[in-house]
Amino acid sequence: MPTGEADRPASRVRSINSVLSTLRVFEEVALRQPIGVSELSRVTDIPKSSVQRCLVTLQEAGWLRVVDPERARWGVTMKALTLGLRGSGEQDLREVAGPVMKRLAAETDETVLLGLRDGENLVIVAREDSTQVVRVVQEIGVRVPLRATSGGVAIMALLDDAEVDELLRRELTEFAQAPVPDTEEVRREIARTVERGYALHGSSSWYRPHVASIGAAITDAAGRPVAALTLPVPQMRYDGSREKALAPRVVAAAEEISRLLSSA
């Protein structure tokens, strides 16, 4: 028997296990980002040294990057996000929404976020930044529970009662070091959103302390809410008069994207 032939099956198994571990690490980063090595090791039950090797491999391949250098926390790159959008058929959403988002950001001089619904979460897939010195910064690819952001609540306001009930049955205890609103509070905000046509976290958002936000849903050709525009504003320059000025612009932008998406 030629030298090394007996070792091939074991080598092949090790290679497969390495690939599976790398894919597992990638999946957990995508679900939990930003996340560090210690937490990844705990949730995957993979040794820290192996997790680190997987992260470096994925970084070199362009799938992951360090999003928080101070705490060495990782997140997905635009490469991963873009391929995911193309695979789900939602790449057109970003293309259609881009010019509208740019115009809204220029008109308001505030950050504009585009979130795509993924089950009970909203995934941030695009952003137009404010030119203000103090502005809201949000990483692309971050997943936020629908109930924790105005964009998500705007989506929930267009769902039927049974689907809302199912979403609210899924318990959340804490998110991003901020308290999660209880079910009745979310239901009240959904009802207010239905009445006024947009969701509002006025004094401070549930997801981001010291940030107010206005959210409006984006619908597909069938009228289903598939995404949302969110306009987050630092609380220091937000008041009721700004709501009156900003909310109609956010709603109009979301409606324009919905029309463009339906006709694309």
Sign of CA dihedral 49, 51, 54, 55: negative
CATH superfamily of the 89-263 domain? GAF domain (3.30.450.40)
**pLDDT 10s digits, 119-149:** 788 888 889 888 877 777 777 778 888 888 8
Query: Is the model's pLDDT at 250 over the cut of 90?
Result: yes
Which pair of tokens denotes residue 215? Answer: 């959210």
Query: Is the model's pLDDT at 88 over the cut of 50?
Result: no
**pLDDT 10s digits, 190-208:** 999 999 999 988 654 555 6
Q: State the Cα angle at 34 between 32 and 40, rounded to 5°.
A: 60
**Percent of the chain predicted with pLDDT > 70:** 81
**CATH architecture of the domain covering 5-76:** Orthogonal Bundle (1.10)
Where do the CATH 3.30.450.40 domains begin and end in the chain? 89-263
Range name among 36-50, 97-111, 200-214, 216-230 with the lowest pLDDT average: 200-214
Under 8 Å between Cβ of 174 and 159: no
Q: What average pLDDT score do residues 208-228 get? A: 86
Q: What average pLDDT score do residues 219-232 get? A: 88
Rounded Cα distance between 191 and 197, Å, is 10
Where do the CATH 1.10.10.10 domains begin and end in the chain? 5-76
